Amino acid sequence: MKYQNVLNHFGIKITDTSSKDNDFYIYEESTADGYSVYVAAEDPNNININDDVYYYDGDLSTAFVDAVVEVKHKNFCIDNMAADWLEEAITELDDIISWQN
């Protein structure tokens, strides 16, 4: 219920399939030495290491919320739709909706 309420309120779509309609991407990558890093970017083909790459997936919640609220992205491609950080972000966005009402 909360999930659908947030999607409807902000007019966003979330998928795990890349398409030309996506305007923000969040996904996991591996470094050359095998460590996981996380990317949150508008263009997965033009990554800024300083701004778009995160060492911890917990930071993705803030990146997602900012992309929804501040930048107003609408179509998200997220490689792990069951990630804990996404649930945290949805809860934060639901709280924002409550504060607005």
Reported as a single tens digit per residue, the pLDDT across 25-42 is 999 999 999 999 999 999
The answer to whether the Cα torsion of 38, 68, 20, 80 is positive or negative is positive
H-state helical runs in 12-83 = 49-52, 60-69
pTM of the predicted model as reported, rounded to 2 decimal places: 0.93
What pLDDT does residue 84 have?
96
Q: How far apart are CA 82 and CA 70, in angstroms?
A: 24
pLDDT at 100: 80
Report the pLDDT averaged over residues 42-67: 96
pLDDT in tens, 57-76: 999 999 999 999 999 999 99
User: What is the structure's pLDDT at 1?
Assistant: 77
